[in-house]
Amino acid sequence: MSSSLQLGLFTAEEGTDPMTALVPDEVDIYILNLSGGKDGPRAAALALDAARAAGVEDRVYTIHASLGPLEWPAVTVGGVRYPGSSELAALHSRALGVPPERHIEVRRARDLEGERVPYDLLTYIAERGDWPWKGVLPCRSDWKTGLIYGAFSSMVRARKKQLGRPVVCANVLGIRADESPDRKKRPALRTTTDNTARVVHEWSPAHQVTTQEVKDWTDEQGLPHQWCYDSHPGAGDWKGSSRCSCSLCVLASQRDLLLAVKRRPRLAELYALVERVRGVPFNPNTSMAELIERAARPGAPDPGVVIEDEGPEFDALENAVEAALKKPAKRARYVRPGTPADALPGSCDGCAAGNPTAAADQEA
């Protein structure tokens, strides 16, 4: 590896600017983010090594911000069950040695007709008439970061009262330089919050670990990895999706999107319905309708498995999205640059006029 971790001090590559060291025993709460993907466990293991070496392992928690039916679900093939992302995050936490009571799962919810129900990202998109894109990513801020901060608020208040000072938190992420040019430039350690209640240091201890090294480490440790990474569940060949996020992520590669469309056709059709009704393409580079059409052509990636997406959770998502689409969009923001109004699925001049182009050159 091109980086080293010694008692939690991230050593930058030679020639890069030095960064402030994170001292393990000065961190009051370690928050290890686990998405069910491959990178979280590698970063978490490095952070855990640092906490253990400093004798503060009892300050470590793992957390998973669930995206419900938009995540990769569990599948059963040949009588073998392969866990979905939420379940896998909990399995990773236990495999790393974190006690079950220190693993937290959060999912966004809201009050609806006097009942607390899950509030899924696709429902929000249908309500807004607007897809997440660079610089405007509620899937990260409202469905992940905000929930994670909120999950620790009561603990932070209690610790602050006990310590008589702001609580120092290490928010440990599986961000790596290999993932994108933006993430390569992103500091491996930075302070993102500094107020009277808490100081949060965002820490990416696996920042300089390569993709291949992550895969090799995962296999060497005997850790289960998300089945979507493989050509088919159980293959263990890492020839499926290159990333594990939302099954259909606006920032995913074209191959990953085509693979996901074929693996989850019912979900893809629900995305296409939102796109068609709101008249706004899935992302500036392609529409979901185009992806569905391309996925049906010869030469498209072999899905390895096709998910039926049957069950009450998906039905609830579908019902919520359809109900949202019966109402006017709250705010429509994005139209692909240069797209004629009559080229948008289900659009008209009035719809296009209400969707000004937004800048999309910020962090991916």
Q: Is 81 helix (H, G, I), strand (E, B) or coil?
A: strand
Residue for token pair 């007709």: 113
Question: How distant is the alpha carbon of residue 13 from its chain centre?
Answer: 27
Per-residue model confidence (pLDDT) at position 107: 96
Q: What is the spatial distance between Cα 280 and Cα 334, in angstroms, rounded to a whole number?
A: 7
Single-letter code of the amino acid located at 285: N
CB 260 within 8 A of CB 326: no
The model's pTM is: 0.85
Q: How many CA atoms lie within 13 Å of 90's alpha carbon, on the beta-carbon side?
A: 10
Per-residue model confidence (pLDDT) at position 75: 97
Q: What is the spatial distance between Cα 110 and Cα 87, in angstroms, rounded to a whole number?
A: 23
Q: Is 222 helix (H, G, I), strand (E, B) or coil?
A: coil
Q: Which residues pair with 194 in a beta bridge?
A: 199
Q: Please name the residues in contact with 64: beta carbons below 8 A apart, sequence gap of 6 or more.
A: 33, 34, 35, 36, 85, 86, 89, 90, 103, 104, 105, 106
Q: For residue 326, how many other CB atoms are within 10 A of its CB?
A: 8
Q: What is the spatial distance between Cα 12 and Cα 163, in angstroms, rounded to a whole number?
A: 32
Measured between its terminal Cα atoms, the distance across the chain in Å is 25
Nearest to 133 by CA among 336, 276, 352: 336
Per-residue model confidence (pLDDT) at position 180: 86
Per-residue model confidence (pLDDT) at position 21: 61
Q: Please name the residues in contact with 251: beta carbons below 8 A apart, sequence gap of 6 or more.
A: 134, 245, 283, 364
Q: Which residues of the chain have pLDDT under 70?
A: 1-21, 332-364
CA angle 72, 70, 90 (to 5 degrees): 50
Per-residue burial over 81-116, b if 16 or more Cβ lie within 10 Å, else e, is ebbbbbbbbbbbbeebebeeebbbbbebeeeeeeee
CB 264 within 8 A of CB 111: no
What percent of the chain is helix, strand and coil (3-state, nearest 5)?
40, 15, 45
Q: What is the spatial distance between Cα 179 and Cα 182, in angstroms, rounded to a whole number?
A: 8
pLDDT averaged over every residue in the chain: 86
